[in-house]
Amino acid sequence: MSAVILMTGVGSYLPKNKFSNEDLSQFIDTSDEWITKRSGIKSRHFVSKNELTSDLATNAALKAVQMSGLNIKDIDLIIVATTTPDNTFPSTATRVQQKLGAKGIAFDVQAVCAGFVFALSVASSMMKDNHSKNCIVIGADSMSKLLNWEDRTTSVLFGDGAGAVVLQKKENLDKKFNGWGILSNVIHSDGNFYDLLYTNAGVSLNQKVGFIEMVGKEVFKHAVEKLCSSFQEALDLCNKDISDIDWLIPHQANQRILSAVSDKLKIKNERVISTVEFHGNTSAASIPLALEVAISSKKVENGNIIGLQAIGGGLSWGSSIIKFGKPKIM
């Protein structure tokens, strides 16, 4: 009998520095009305001067492990999805591993805003191949480090934060886990759209970090189409229908994309988790951050079927279907 990969813990962390649209308007040519109309964003959090991506990730991971009921010593795999690592090398995941006091395998995945879904897919495959029994998947980004404050079209959209989930592998010997855990993962990339969303610098390009550059209208068009098509793929893979989904948790890019996706999928807005108003676009952190909010607000509950979907630079995109939590017999 095949193994089942359960999602049993979720945690998140936001930096203490919170910036409203009004705060940004003090040093950017913008306004609350302009930002809200175009994105639905009202506020976002930024890291402090000495706060690292690994700090965000570690805090989120600790909360996820606590919720799962495991101990740090049980964790044997850590995957961090990030575009803003502490150092060019080694991986931020190894720094998180050291801060947690964990053992085993640790590495990063870089698929920008789609990073969490990519990392989830990689973790699930590795666990099924017997590389891990208990894994932490983390999405963590300090996107404020990549913002050009003279470009109001991008600088007002992003925020910093981290979210983490704990995955546990269970052998389904007596079928008690049937229908639980990660039911399907779908991931795609197409480098033909490389220049739609990128940074204008890099290590091998010019030894710099660079700023975010984005062709907004084209990204919006691809986002809606690719989020919906990959989600239908994920549904088909696990023989589910859109009516089976209790909650849809998309990448929190902006409210217009979330609304367009829910309309195209014909899923009611009240079944779509949206936190973009309070977090902005936190890149790889956005989905687990939104999931944690949905759990703490008593929306997502044990046994709910949730759909995750994300798109980021590359372009890279994907979706996952998960029956969250674990049977009460555990």
Whole-number CA gyration radius for the chain: 19
Tell me whether residue 238 is one of the annotated catalytic residues: no
Residue 299 pLDDT level (bands cut at 50, 70, 90): very high
Q: List strand residue ranges (DSSP E) for the chain, in order.
A: 3-13, 17-20, 43-46, 77-81, 105-109, 134-142, 160-171, 181-189, 197-199, 212-214, 247-250, 305-312, 316-323
- The single residue of 45, 222, 251, 279 carrying the catalytic annotation is 251
Would you say domain 1-330 falls under CATH 3.40.47.10? yes
Chain mean position to CA 189: 17
**Is the Cβ–Cβ distance between 206 and 224 less than 8 Å?**
no
Q: Where are the domains of the chain?
A: 1-330
Q: Which of 21, 185, 254, 281 is catalytic?
A: 281
pLDDT digits (tens, 9 = 90+) for 110-168: 999 999 999 999 999 999 999 999 999 999 999 999 999 999 999 999 999 999 999 99
Whether 185 is a known active-site residue: answer no
- pTM value? 0.97
The SS3 call for residue 175 is coil
pLDDT at 330: 58
Q: What's the pLDDT tens digit per position in 212-269?
A: 999 999 999 999 999 999 999 999 999 999 999 999 999 999 999 999 999 999 999 9
Model pLDDT, residue 2? 79
Catalytic residue, candidates 113, 134, 185, 222? 113
- 135 catalytic per annotation: no
* For residue 1, pLDDT beyond 80: no
Phi and psi (nearest 5°) for 93?
-60, -35
140 in Cβ contact with 265 (< 8 Å): no
